[in-house]
Structure 1
């Protein structure tokens, strides 16, 4: 990725006060981009947006993506060339407590943005943040052509948004009409990310950090559960790389993209906990043996991203956990 590619470019981020949105905004500002954000106020206290002073040096509008008028005004004001749509997220479990809000925010918020894009004169590339949970878990490695399915409301809503995006790509923003609309759109499917500043009540890492700060051992429900672990720096890199590809290659890259980690980034919850504890407490890692095979979360096959975007994760699973532990240790210091 060219170090000067983002310098001076105007970028619009929905959901910029969230965990990944804040990290993306910081990275783009550091790269020299002019960043505009549209989002609800931070949903937790503390939150990374305020802790890291993300709002400094960028334009922030606090609003709801379901408010199409406000969203359109903010997007027009930005005169952005690139849009990252990260708003309308939320945890899988708590989405059952606010089903209507989850669907209206993700689905109608996305439709509002797509309708705004029909009237924009400046936007050329749009990346929608999707999820690895949109697929029907039918096999170990999932590819972009695998069928979508429902689950928790948050996951089902993301699947709905991917289908809506596909509809727009067959109609209003069809590649063969690119000379008219001049917008390339893509869906970035990725799993959850770890890193400093995730203060979500559902975050296992945040719970682990609080326990270590208190000198306690966090009780683990499923220590043998094997998960893929992706650092937020790699997640941000994936989003930026996809957006750059859309700008440079246009509709050739429109559509769905898996941007995940492979088997080398798999580790059990118990093993990850031991590495985090050791880094936090400046001690050696205790040997951890799985009592059983445990469950394995499905992996995204990201060969398409490697072959066409030259993107792959660079932060190893061990370093990801160690960097995260260091961040929280400094936060509490």
Structure 2
């Protein structure tokens, strides 16, 4: 990831007030980019956007991606050549409590976004945030970009629908063979949940662990044997920036779907991750033990394409990710 590449570059982010969007905006600001954001106000209190003062030094607009006119106006005002579309997210579990809102914000919001791109004169590269949950699970196999899509919740299904919408635009309006006319390269970045400082979502395990550690309590875990991949938000941000740079430099050759994730060595049972987090938070040693296979596993993304063509791979180990996250929350509470 070349941070110098972003100096003085105009960048537009939807969803810049969310956890991942705020970290992306911060990284771009630190790299010297001119950052413009369009998003609903932060969904939680506290939130990383306000705690880290993300809005300072950037142009921030509060708006809904379902408001097509406002979204188009904000995009045109930015005169950005790179766009990251992260808006329209939400938790998997709470999406069942707001099914209609989930589909309208993700699917129709993305359509409004893609339609606004048709009339822009400056945009050259677009990265749309997707999810590892768009795939149909396959036992014993890493998930590849060519695998069939599915969805186990409204949030996951809406992301899969959005990926199909993007594919339709890549087959028509923004087709590679028409690149000399529209000059826009688009891609979907599929990755799982990330951890890091500033995640204050109610359903976030890390936020619950941080509050328990601060209070000197042990957090009861529902599925301590569930094996999950642990990816740090810094790796997630580097994936988005690396893909956007490739779109600018390679054009339609970098368009399409891309997996970004961690390897099997980043997998830990929830119970062990909780022990490591608490130990790092309190400054205590923890007992390492071998990964067991008795727990349920979350599907791993096959990232060979990103490794081979973008030279991208995760840099932060699971233990390092938990340590960095624990240190952030300790400083926050301190």
Structure-1-length-normalised TM-score: 0.99
CA distance in 1, matches of 2:36, 2:292: 49
CA distance in 2, matches of 1:290, 1:323: 21
Matched, 1:54 2:54: yes
- Report if the CA contact (8 A) 1:274-1:285 is conserved: yes
Corresponding residue of 2:28: 28
CA distance in 1, matches of 2:28, 2:115: 25
CA distance in 1, matches of 2:5, 2:99: 40
Question: What's the offset of the Cα at 1:286?
Answer: 3.0
CA distance in 2, matches of 1:8, 1:215: 45
Question: What's the offset of the Cα at 1:262?
Answer: 1.0
Superposition pairs for residues 1-333 of structure 1, below 5 Å?
1-139=1-139, 140-287=141-288, 293-333=294-334
CA distance in 1, matches of 2:24, 2:228: 24
CA distance in 2, matches of 1:296, 1:287: 20
CA distance in 1, matches of 2:298, 2:96: 21
- Report if the CA contact (8 A) 1:229-1:267 is conserved: yes
CA distance in 2, matches of 1:157, 1:58: 30
- Report if the CA contact (8 A) 1:149-1:159 is conserved: yes
CA distance in 1, matches of 2:196, 2:288: 24
1:232-254: CA deviations, max 9, x gaps?
Answer: 00000000000000000000110
Q: Number of paired residues?
A: 333
Unaligned 5+ runs, structure 2? none
- Report if the CA contact (8 A) 1:270-1:288 is conserved: no
1:155-198: CA deviations, max 9, x gaps?
Answer: 00000000000000000000000000000000000000000000
Tell me the secondary structure at the aligned position of residue 61 of structure 1.
strand
- Report if the CA contact (8 A) 1:224-1:290 is conserved: no
CA distance in 2, matches of 1:312, 1:287: 25
Question: What's the offset of the Cα at 1:138?
Answer: 1.5
Distance 1:221 1:252, change over 3 A: same
CA distance in 2, matches of 1:133, 1:189: 9
Aligned-pair Cα RMSD in Å: 1.0
Tell me the secondary structure at the aligned position of residue 142 of structure 1.
coil
CA distance in 2, matches of 1:328, 1:97: 29
CA distance in 1, matches of 2:94, 2:297: 22
CA distance in 2, matches of 1:187, 1:264: 25
Query: In terms of mean alpha carbon deviation, does 292-301 or 29-38 score higher?
Result: 292-301
Structure-2-length-normalised TM-score: 0.98
CA distance in 2, matches of 1:104, 1:296: 31
